[in-house]
Structure 1
């Protein structure tokens, strides 16, 4: 999978979504067909995210370790790699060193 470098034809919400005291910051983007994504960065930390809809997390820069709800194994993902998170679930993410830049694809 190649790295997504830009998203064309989108509306961007200018106010950032700030989570975990600023350790994760993202912006929501909406396409003409109504689908949405978020583009963001996670600073070095260990965080737990809850999901409503299923998500595909696409790494753009940096790397992270991820543990899905109910699993004991951590998996490592870097730029150009993605992982899926089920809806109505959660996942732990660990970022060490360089920030992890991502695109979250919903649904």
Structure 2
């Protein structure tokens, strides 16, 4: 995993969800693909997906439970997990979590 994303355009307006518990910015790559780069503050949230997502954890630790699963998995900096499109996942953080969400 690279420490930076090169040659992108950044949407200046932030994406703010869950009463300010998740804040991100959309970046658009030269090929037109999009990612979001953001933080999740300590909380327990449920995200719904449209497109498939690869969640890359840049900093912090989280517990994740994919839709339909009974067990939680723990992820930290340098790890990632996949989420199918048109589904959901639960995420719990006890410290600020830095992430990059890759779509598609």
TM-score interval (norm. to shorter)? over 0.9
Note the C-alpha offset of 1:101.
Answer: 0.3
**1:55 and 2:30 equivalent?**
no
Residues matched between the structures, number: 104
Normalising by structure 1, what TM-score? 0.95
Normalising by structure 2, what TM-score? 0.98
Match in the other structure for 1:89 = 87
In structure 1, stretches of 5+ residues that fail to align are none
In structure 2, stretches of 5+ residues that fail to align are none
Note the C-alpha offset of 1:50.
Answer: 0.2
Match in the other structure for 2:25 = 27
Match in the other structure for 1:102 = 99
RMSD (Å), alpha carbons:
0.6
**1:5-52 CA deviation, whole Å, 9 max, x = no partner?**
111000001110000010000000001100110000000000000000
